[in-house]
């Protein structure tokens, strides 16, 4: 018969309780609290998560069955569902948000050297969202549809260890692309996202921060590839250099998306940067026109000509 600590108590020993105590003191979480401190509230909710409890009543019933072991689990008194409900409603949420960030930073250090199966030293993130359906009668504040309530959870997942590094819960009507406004881009990191996040101004913000992004193009996007670099690295390596694409977008989009000072593009020709490596903008090549003297000219709009000079035979020389 086991006479030592319970498994739950052993798991709780891994938490940085000294840090948690400082966070609680910073926000006054235990001020004028007589029963169920912030630490006990966290233990109760962690127990519910680990044991798949479905309601506050379920938590109360499960803990009261083993009342003799509550003290070893970190509870000073039996947990009542009304007290737990009041604590969940009244306690400052920033206490547990800061604790979560502390645990995320601790977990990411443990998986920093995990192999992704690719020849990549960069940090790779996956950005996605999910809609959580709620009952409209119970959650009338979660506006989604006339007959249904919902919230949307936006998650940035670190693929080394599958650790969420950013979580934002919003109403169900918030579009996915607005989550890019809440992120702090990490220089050198790679962000993998769906085409719901395609917004040229916001993706340009990632480019300016020195980050990379991988996304799918929308079906109505008019683009063509300017050039692609050859694979680099040793033979058999999966490391490839990114390509550059030029996108034809409406004139309302901010011009000179690549940010190069010497790039003078036509009013409806905007470069779409998929990588911050290259710094030279090249316009969409147009059909060469032959002048009266037999020479071929190209429309460069102030930048370097795409076609180059003509040959002696009068035919345009392309590269």
Query: Mind spelling out the 3-state secondary structure of 136-169?
Result: CCCCCCCECCCCCEEEEEEEEEECCCCEEEEEEE
CATH class given for the domain over 115-216: alpha beta
* pLDDT tens digits, one per residue of 84-139: 999 999 999 999 999 999 999 999 889 988 888 888 889 999 999 999 999 999 89
Q: Are 42 and 17 in contact (CB under 8 A)?
A: no
Counting Cα atoms < 13 Å in the Cβ hemisphere of 93 gives 2
Q: Tokens for 48, please give them.
A: 């519910």
Q: How far is CA 18 from CA 101, 143, 159, in A?
A: 15, 39, 29
pLDDT band at 206 (very low <50, low <70, confident <90, very high): very high
Distance CA 268, CA 282 (A): 13
Spatial CB neighbours of 69, under 8 Å, sequence gap ≥ 6: 6
The alpha carbon of residue 271 and the mean position of all alpha carbons in its chain are separated, in whole angstroms, by 24
Residue 119: per-residue pLDDT: 84
Closest of 187, 274, 270 to residue 229, by C-alpha: 274
Report CA torsion sign: 300, 305, 310, 315. negative
* pLDDT tens digits, one per residue of 243-290: 555 555 444 444 444 443 334 333 333 444 444 433 334 444 444 444
Distance CA 256, CA 75 (A): 61
Helix then strand then coil, in percent of the chain rounded to 5, is 30, 20, 50
Other C-beta atoms lying within 10 Å of the C-beta of residue 182: 11
Predicted model pTM:
0.65
What crossing angle do the helices spanning 93-110 and 38-50 adopt, rounded to 10°? Answer: 60
Counting Cα atoms < 13 Å in the Cβ hemisphere of 43 gives 25
Looking at residue 213, the DSSP 8-state letter turns out to be E
Distance CA 33, CA 294 (A): 90
Q: Are 242 and 274 in contact (CB under 8 A)?
A: yes
Domain positions in the chain? 7-109, 115-216, 222-233+240-272, 287-319
Spatial CB neighbours of 272, under 8 Å, sequence gap ≥ 6: 200, 203, 223, 245, 246, 247, 249, 257
Looking at residue 295, the DSSP 8-state letter turns out to be -
Percent of the chain surpassing pLDDT 90: 55
Distance CA 215, CA 203 (A): 10
What crossing angle do the helices spanning 38-50 and 81-90 adopt, rounded to 10°? Answer: 110
N- to C-terminal Cα distance for the chain? 80
Radius of gyration from C-alpha coordinates of the chain: 28
Region of residue 262 (phi > 0: left; psi between -120 and 50: alpha; otherwise: beta) = alpha
* pLDDT tens digits, one per residue of 295-313: 444 443 443 333 333 333 4
Percent of the chain surpassing pLDDT 70: 71
Report CA torsion sign: 104, 106, 107, 110. positive
Query: Average per-residue pLDDT in the chain?
Result: 78
Distance CA 161, CA 251 (A): 42
Q: Is the pLDDT of residue 216 over 50?
A: yes
Average pLDDT over residues 188-205: 93
């Amino acid at each position: 018969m086991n006479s030592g600590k319970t498994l739950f108590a052993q798991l709780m020993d891994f938490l940085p309780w000294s840090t948690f105590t400082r966070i609680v003191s910073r926000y006054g979480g235990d001020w004028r609290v007589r029963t169920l401190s912030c630490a006990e509230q966290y233990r109760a909710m962690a127990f519910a998560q680990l044991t798949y409890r479905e309601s506050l009543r379920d938590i109360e019933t499960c803990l009261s069955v083993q009342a003799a072991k509550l003290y070893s689990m970190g509870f000073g008194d039996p947990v009542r569902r009304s007290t737990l409900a009041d604590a969940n409603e009244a306690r400052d949420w920033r206490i547990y948000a800061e604790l979560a960030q502390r645990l995320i930073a601790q977990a990411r250090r443990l998986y920093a050297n995990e192999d992704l199966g690719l020849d990549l030293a960069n940090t790779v993130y996956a950005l996605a969202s999910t809609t959580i359906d709620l009952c409209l009668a119970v959650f009338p504040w979660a506006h989604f549809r006339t007959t249904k309530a919902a919230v949307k959870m936006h998650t940035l997942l670190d693929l080394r260890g599958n650790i969420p590094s950013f979580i934002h819960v919003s109403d169900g009507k918030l579009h996915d692309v607005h989550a890019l406004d809440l992120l702090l881009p990490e220089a050198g990191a790679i962000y993998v996202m769906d085409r719901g996040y395609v917004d040229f101004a916001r993706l340009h913000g990632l480019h300016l921060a020195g980050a990379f992004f991988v996304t799918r193009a929308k079906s109505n996007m008019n683009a063509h590839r300017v050039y692609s670099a050859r694979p680099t690295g040793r033979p058999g390596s999966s490391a490839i250099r990114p390509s550059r694409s030029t996108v034809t977008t409406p004139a309302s989009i901010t011009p000179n998306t690549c940010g190069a000072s010497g790039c003078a593009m036509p009013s409806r020709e905007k470069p779409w940067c998929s990588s911050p490596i290259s710094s030279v903008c090249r316009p969409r090549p147009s059909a060469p026109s032959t002048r009266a003297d037999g020479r071929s000219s190209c429309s460069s709009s102030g930048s370097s000509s795409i076609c180059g000079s003509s040959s002696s035979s009068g035919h345009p020389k392309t590269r």
